[in-house]
Amino acid sequence: MVKIEVGPATRADVAEYTANFSGGAQLPPYRVLALAGKADGKVIGVGGICMLPNGVRLAFADLAPEAHKYPVALHKAGLAGLAQAKNGGIKRVVATATTIESGERWLLRLGFHKEVAPGGVIYVKDL
């Protein structure tokens, strides 16, 4: 049985994940409050809150294909990340659902609500 662990993301976790799953893509060059998910010690996802310069707090999740095998762990990690953000004084988080097929359903289940913005649909959660 695979053991899933979720904890604060370190620079090493992000480097490992981006080297293995993001095709070398890096997280945006902004401060983040992030968690890393590991399956048997291997980083299979990084997610959290990105602090954009304009004051927006953007929720993100970058997940390896194998991470989707663990929906309960993913959901618990999402809830933990939102609780961490709230405890850190963040009042509102926005997200988009463009990269994960079930992203909209997951965001709604996490308590986000859909809003229509000039650039398209966004999801907002007040903490």
Domain boundaries, the chain: 4-126
Q: What pLDDT, in 10s, does the model give residues 15-36?
A: 888 887 766 666 667 888 999 9
Per-residue pLDDT of the chain (127 residues; tens, 9 = 90+): 788 999 999 989 988 888 877 666 666 678 889 999 999 999 999 999 999 999 999 998 888 889 989 999 999 999 999 999 999 999 999 999 876 678 889 999 999 999 998 888 999 999 9
Contact yes or no for 36/14 (Cβ under 8 A) = yes
Q: How many CA atoms lie within 13 A of 127 on its CB side?
A: 20
- 4-126: which CATH number, 3.40.630.30, 3.90.650.10, 3.40.1230.10, 3.40.640.10? 3.40.630.30
Tell which residue, 76, 75, 56, 62, has the closest CA to residue 124: 56
Q: Please give the Cα distance from 17 to 58 (Å, whole number).
A: 20
